[in-house]
Structure 1
């Protein structure tokens, strides 16, 4: 019996050893898990909770669309896609034949307007001289009227005297007849003199009206400020501007993309010829989950990395604004949840991040590239 119990005790001892090791291992694992939880909690409290990050971010830019301002035929195209250009670089030249003709026509119109102003000014001088001449005519007519009035009075008195003497036979019939004729002639001359004064006054009034009308055209103006001259100068300036617009230049620094213009093509105003992407003025639209944005403020620093260069190259920027709506709300076909659909989809709101131009110059990016963005929430 004693001999039979010894193997059972040995087996029991051997089974207790693995159980003891298992408990010890589980204890070690529990301690490690606890340590990891403490470390994670400490990291979250001290570091992680002060940052929010997303890998749903993309490079964007306010591109410049190159469009002609006039209708013309394309004479030459000086750039190609992917070419880097500086502000003011000649991109496209349009045929300037019509524009040059328009400039010549506008210059001729300006010269004509200036000449017409000079002619109008000279006409005023001539009309002023005519008014003075009409004044002299009036003075002469009035002098003739005074003489005719005197002749009329003398003839009237002479006729009255002879008419008083005629009944006594002191005056012959011939003398009476001559006096009557002289009186009639003097009266006619008087009427003629009065008509002459009236005609001279009327002529002077007409000359004065012409002078006033002509002066109204040039009053308060000079050869440089006359309305007709200013209108002609404006047309000339427009023609010269259209001539300058036959040479299309780059409005900003950047890279040419989507060039769709060819030599010989006739373009209309507003036709999109190409786009220019400003590589030194890029930004990032980072799409954060709505639950991440409660502490995000404008001006907070952002650290970004690009898939193009990897995590070794970091970009630094700042939050400059938030979109007016989520990405799905501005989609071409916005999502519409049907009645009874209780699945809640977490929405993302685009956050605009401005990048450092110096870092962009050192490591250029392109529109549409993927980025990882992390916002430091400790700055308010």
Structure 2
């Protein structure tokens, strides 16, 4: 009975060895298959893409700041409100700037009248010059008459017809006449110099284009612009955020009152590791998803540019790796991704939202840095254009009122306006 039981384990040993070999073979085949599949995936798929979840939505955050100081009189927009470009946001009390404008207008009118006096003085001084020249002619005639008297009396002194006293008197009159001639000539020189001095203040210009009038007109334009700047318009279409303005608040020029965020001008800053930048090029296509919408909403983007420095390099306190113990930390470089405007309109994003970014790096024809400057502004607004037109009209009105002539503009521009009379 014991012999058959001892032979049974010996008979099972080959079976267990075959199972072990099959298991090892299956494991080897599985490992090889997984390795081959991973190699193929890395070669055909993974090597074509670079991805990161360290990406955030960025946009233009436009601070609304007054250009002049004043007291807030009205607030026309609040947080989360949508505003159109040119729509008023805040109004300052215009009383102070109105008073300053009235003072500048009065100063311009006074300056115009003073300059008119300068031009009128030219005529008066020219008449004085002519009078001095007439005085010279009279003095010369008097000298000639006195000289003739002296010569006649000297010819008669030998026969006793003219006394010595009378001759001395005639000679004294000649000396007085010569003195008067010199005085008349000196007076003429002084009158000519005074006329020339006054003419230097008016030469090559007229009342309206005189430098003093232009300086006073510039003050009027400055005061006029201040009255226009009492109302703060929205420079672009966007949404209001971070409103700090309060009614009755006294604010200085440059104080932030609120911000405008145009949500149609957003982009994504994707912070890739430095080892991921080897194949990223400008113009490569990008797929993005936002946590706020999930994976079922996908955005199409394009690599717009690569940052010129790491985040640590531009930090408030940059790293000083030459001091103390050093531990290498992989750095990240921001890559700007432009978003599709139509997709943003269908699924709006917010500044600061996190994104998942995947860049298709299969096309290596692009550049890593831009090689040409922009040929157009990044952004611009027409809201503030034309505010000086009313100032020019006001200047022309004041000059016309103080010269009594019909004026017309012969030049353009607030600083270089030339105003002539017709």
Q: What is the TM-score when the length of structure 1 is the normalising length? A: 0.86
Alpha-carbon distance between aligned partners in 1 of 2:252 and 2:74, rounded to the nearest angstrom = 16
Instruction: Report how far residue 16 of structure 1 moved.
Output: 8.0
**Deviation string, structure 1 residues 37-81 (Cα, Å, up to 9, x no partner):** 333322221121010001111111231111111111111111101
CA RMSD of aligned residues (A): 2.8
* Matched residue, 1:353: 337
Structure 2 residue 242 is the aligned partner of structure 1 residue 258: yes
* Matched residue, 1:279: 263
Structure 2 residue 225 is the aligned partner of structure 1 residue 227: no
* Matched residue, 2:196: 212
* Matched residue, 2:37: 39
Matches of residues 69-80 of structure 1 in structure 2 within 5 Å? Answer: 69-80=67-78
Alpha-carbon distance between aligned partners in 2 of 1:109 and 1:370, rounded to the nearest angstrom = 59
* Matched residue, 2:296: 312
Question: Aligned residue pairs: how many?
Answer: 363
Aligned partner (choices 164, 168, 173) of residue 184 of structure 1: 168
Matches of residues 239-250 of structure 1 in structure 2 within 5 Å? Answer: 239-250=223-234
Alpha-carbon distance between aligned partners in 2 of 1:135 and 1:250, rounded to the nearest angstrom = 69
Instruction: Report how far residue 366 of structure 1 moved.
Output: 0.6
Matches of residues 61-76 of structure 1 in structure 2 within 5 Å? Answer: 61-76=59-74
Alpha-carbon distance between aligned partners in 2 of 1:329 and 1:121, rounded to the nearest angstrom = 65
Structure 2 residue 52 is the aligned partner of structure 1 residue 54: yes
Structure number with the higher helix fraction is: 1
Equivalent position SS for 1:208 = helix
Equivalent position SS for 1:161 = coil
Equivalent position SS for 1:218 = coil
Alpha-carbon distance between aligned partners in 2 of 1:347 and 1:139, rounded to the nearest angstrom = 97
Q: Structure 2: where are the runs of 5+ without partners? A: 366-422
Equivalent position SS for 2:36 = helix
Aligned partner (choices 96, 103, 109) of residue 101 of structure 2: 103
* Matched residue, 1:378: 362
Instruction: Report how far residue 25 of structure 1 moved.
Output: 6.8
**Deviation string, structure 1 residues 276-326 (Cα, Å, up to 9, x no partner):** 122112121112122211111233222111111112222222223333443
Instruction: Report how far residue 335 of structure 1 moved.
Output: 6.6
Alpha-carbon distance between aligned partners in 1 of 2:103 and 2:210, rounded to the nearest angstrom = 19
Q: What is the TM-score when the length of structure 2 is the normalising length? A: 0.78
Instruction: Report how far residue 33 of structure 1 moved.
Output: 4.9
Deviates more, 1:125-134 or 1:320-329: 320-329
